[in-house]
Amino acid sequence: MSLNKRVLRFMLSGIVAATVAGCGISGDRAGAEATSLSFWLAQQTPQPIRDGIAAFGRENGIATEIVTVPDPFETNTLTKWAAGERPDVLYWQPATKFFIQLVPKANLQDLSGMDFVGRTRHRLAVESGALDGRTYTATVGFPAVFGIFYNKDVFARAGLTPPKNPGDLRAVCQQLKAAGVVPMSVAGGDPWTMQVPVYEMLTDAVAGGLIERINTARAAWTDPAVVAALRDFKGVVDAGFTNPDVATASYADQQADLLSGEVAMVAQGSWLISALTDTAGAERVDRSIGFAPWPSASGKVMWQSSNNASVMLPKTGNAARERAARDYVAYATSTGYRQALAAAKEPSVIDGIADPPGVSALRKAVADAYLNRSVPSVDMQAVASFGDFPTLMSELIMGRAGPEEVAGRMQEEFRRNAKLVGVEGF
């Protein structure tokens, strides 16, 4: 899901021209009203968000055009962005390494004065999709939390509990494999999914400040902790602890296999819950699937806000549409958010909007982990892209690149991209 060097350089070199071109768009008269708005969403955007956009349009007499950007979402979105294309409303990654590439001050509306900012909980308005004290993002969903999602029936039949440390993890995988169950799913056919297990293997290092040190050139992506995480991920595959179609299995396969009990565990972000619920319904998911932190010494979990819950407003030069886009944000953080919560059945992140009835035990377990033992994820902290990480993971599991080579390429890309975006020390 990361942006490659070529696209980043193109984007940065063309950003001023694109901004000027955008501002040159013929704007509506001061009193004119917008009749349409365009939205860019990812393929995995849950249906309730799409329904909310449609409801806003109906209630306000505005035609809503949804553009679903194909995977890899980040790369394809930034390619369109670099070419000067702009939607009125963008659901985008607030993680720093992606967010910074939009050049927010020049290209996004400043939302700091809007009502939702003071009502947003957990400092999300100032920590997620914000820069230099300005809020550019409305967060309309609970942060995604990384961990292990496991099939409760499979674990019960095997007499096992979720692993609590790396030694437990290997022992659990061995016992599951001996019982004829695939211990862990890896969806190499959708390479973006392979980022999460590697990030989770870095939990203790991230909790110990590794990314901050890399950002300030006091450490590098070639750090032993990074190499060890890459080696451990490859080791899980080589030990036969994953599905045999590891190179081709899709994100949809991963969900189906977890629900059916064909695989016991999936290392993924909690956006998985929405995907599972869309497929199987909340009741079955809550009955069948459990959550546990990735086994680590620190007991921490990583969090990041998802693009599916992060609303940004590009500057388009069309005054009427920019006003209407702000109206959408006001709706999405009030009436629309209340409706979305009723469908998602997750805890609220906005004061004045109560948690919906029926928040599942699974959602509560994820929320508890976030509130009590979380640290920002690798992507939330990294100040620049470290290359096309999903592709690197594909090369790693296929044996085309070793852990040391992958780490070296990550560092080289990070160094170049940090210099491109003006990070001090690079």
Place of tokens 């044996």: 399
Q: Can you list the domains of the chain with their CATH numbers?
A: 5-142+305-352 (3.40.190.10), 144-303+381-420 (3.40.190.10)
242: amino acid identity, one letter: T
99: amino acid identity, one letter: F
100: amino acid identity, one letter: I
Place of tokens 């993002």: 137
Backbone phi and psi for residue 246, each to the nearest 5 degrees, phi listed first? -55, -30
**CA–CA separation, 76 vs 81, rounded Å?**
9
Which helix (H) or strand (E) is 177 found in, with range? helix 166-178
- What pLDDT score was predicted for residue 171? 97
**Rounded to whole angstroms, what are the CA distances from 403 to 173, 399, 410?**
22, 10, 11
**CA–CA separation, 308 vs 4, rounded Å?**
22
Question: What b-and-e string marks burial along 302-334, b requiring 16 or more CB atoms within 10 Å of the CB?
Answer: bbbbbbbbbbbbbbbbbbbbbebbbbbbbbbbb
293 close to 147: Cβ distance less than 8 angstroms: yes
11 close to 81: Cβ distance less than 8 angstroms: yes
Tokens of 117: 């900012």
294 close to 145: Cβ distance less than 8 angstroms: no
Place of tokens 């942006």: 3
102 CA to centre of own chain? 16
Neighbours of 170 (CB within 10 A): 18
- What pLDDT score was predicted for residue 31? 56
Its sign, for the CA torsion 174, 177, 181, 187, is positive
Q: Closest Cα partner for 100 from 380, 390, 324, 323?
A: 380
- Residue ranges in the chain modelled with pLDDT below 50: 1-30
**CA–CA separation, 136 vs 149, rounded Å?**
32
**CA–CA separation, 91 vs 93, rounded Å?**
7
Q: CA 32, 35, 38: angle at the middle one, nearest 5?
A: 120
Place of tokens 């030069």: 317
**CA–CA separation, 378 vs 208, rounded Å?**
12
Backbone phi and psi for residue 278, each to the nearest 5 degrees, phi listed first? -60, -35
Tokens of 218: 């006091």
- What pLDDT score was predicted for residue 421? 87
Q: Closest Cα partner for 163 from 326, 322, 68, 297?
A: 297
**CA–CA separation, 343 vs 177, rounded Å?**
37
